[in-house]
Structure formats: structure tokens, C-alpha cells
Amino acid sequence: MAVPKKRTSRSRRDMRRSHHRVKVPNLSTCPRCHEPVLPHHVCPECGYYRGRKILKVEEE
């Protein structure tokens, strides 16, 4: 069975885990209602995507 010859240092272990962090999603603003929206997604506030109405959104 394979067993490591040397103990992995805290520095090397933590450098390996540097990509495990939680990333903040890239948000852009909707050009129509100026609400934050994920790129390449329909705006949940106004229902538009690339200038066309996609979803029917009920207004309060």
C-alpha cells in the first residue's frame, strides 16, 4: 500500500486547497430594469433576455 514518505506541510496543504474557496457569482445589470442578474440568464424582475420578452412576470 502506498504511504507518503514525508508529512505534507501546512503551507503545501493550504496551497493545494486555495481553489476550494466559495466564489462570488458574476452579476451584471439588466439593461431594462437595472436589477442585478446572472449573465446569459433571463432577468427575474422584468422577464426580458437580450431585448425580448421571455417570461410573463406578475407585477404587484
Full pLDDT tens readout for the chain, 60 residues: 899 999 999 999 999 999 999 999 999 999 999 999 999 999 999 999 999 999 888 766
- Look up residue 54 and give its three cell numbers: 421571455
On whether the CB atoms of residues 49 and 43 are closer than 8 A, the answer is yes
User: 440568464: which residue's cell?
Assistant: 41
- Cβ atoms within 10 Å, residue 43: 21
Q: Give me the pLDDT at residue 1, please.
A: 86
Q: Give me the pLDDT at residue 37, please.
A: 96
Q: Give me the pLDDT at residue 18, please.
A: 94
On whether the CB atoms of residues 32 and 46 are closer than 8 A, the answer is yes
Q: Give me the pLDDT at residue 38, please.
A: 95
